Amino acid sequence: MEEASADVQARVRASFERQGLMHHLGARIAHIGPGRVHIVLPSRPEVTQQHGYFHAGATSAIADSAGGYAAFTVFREDSSVLTVEYKINLLAPAEGDQLEAIGTVLKSGRTLTVCTLEVYASQGADRTLVASGQQTLIQIQARPER
């Protein structure tokens, strides 16, 4: 997998570190490439629902962040990113050792960017697609992140 430049990786990681929810969930960035970001969430009781599966909220949150940061990799340095909307389909119970959300830029425009979202659950060597979606993000010009 192609890696993003060192500057882009540093900008994405710095922004990710400021996200309280990702820290609270225990999520981490596993890959930053041009137009593609992977976020991993290990299984813990705090991110599950009553049947022991990963909660849909946790699944959706890491998918949203993966897509947002995928878009952020192609945005100008002096801009920031916000989600405009996203739709996610939960395809199977999310159970396993960890989830991996993959956000991929489908089309990047001057203002709006569309990403595809995939979330996989892993149990050992087995990997199952548990969620799929699409997202629209807006590039906010001349407003760098804090």
In a domain, 36, yes or no: yes
In a domain, 42, yes or no: yes
In a domain, 145, yes or no: no
In a domain, 69, yes or no: yes
pLDDT score, position 108: 97
Task: Determine contact, residues 137/97, Cβ cutoff 8 Å.
Answer: no
CA distance 136 to 31: 21
Task: Determine contact, residues 5/36, Cβ cutoff 8 Å.
Answer: no
Per-residue pLDDT of the chain (146 residues; tens, 9 = 90+): 899 999 999 999 999 999 999 999 999 999 999 999 999 999 999 999 999 999 999 999 999 999 999 999 999 988 999 999 999 999 999 999 999 999 999 999 999 999 999 999 999 999 999 999 999 999 998 666 66
In a domain, 21, yes or no: yes
* Secondary structure (3-state) at 142: coil
DSSP β-bridge partners for residue 99: 41, 121
Handedness of CA 22, 25, 28, 30 (dihedral sign): negative
Structural domain of 45? 6-140
Q: What is the pTM of this model?
A: 0.95
pLDDT score, position 143: 66
Question: What's the alpha-carbon Rg for the chain, to the nearest Å?
Answer: 15
pLDDT score, position 146: 65
Edge-to-edge strand order for the sheet containing 112-123? 28-33, 36-42, 98-108, 112-123, 126-140, 80-90
Question: Which domain CATH number covers 102?
Answer: 3.10.129.10
- Residues 104, 71, 18: CA angle, nearest 5 degrees: 115
In a domain, 1, yes or no: no
pLDDT score, position 141: 85
Count of the separate structural domains present in the chain: 1
In a domain, 146, yes or no: no
In a domain, 119, yes or no: yes
CA distance 99 to 35: 20
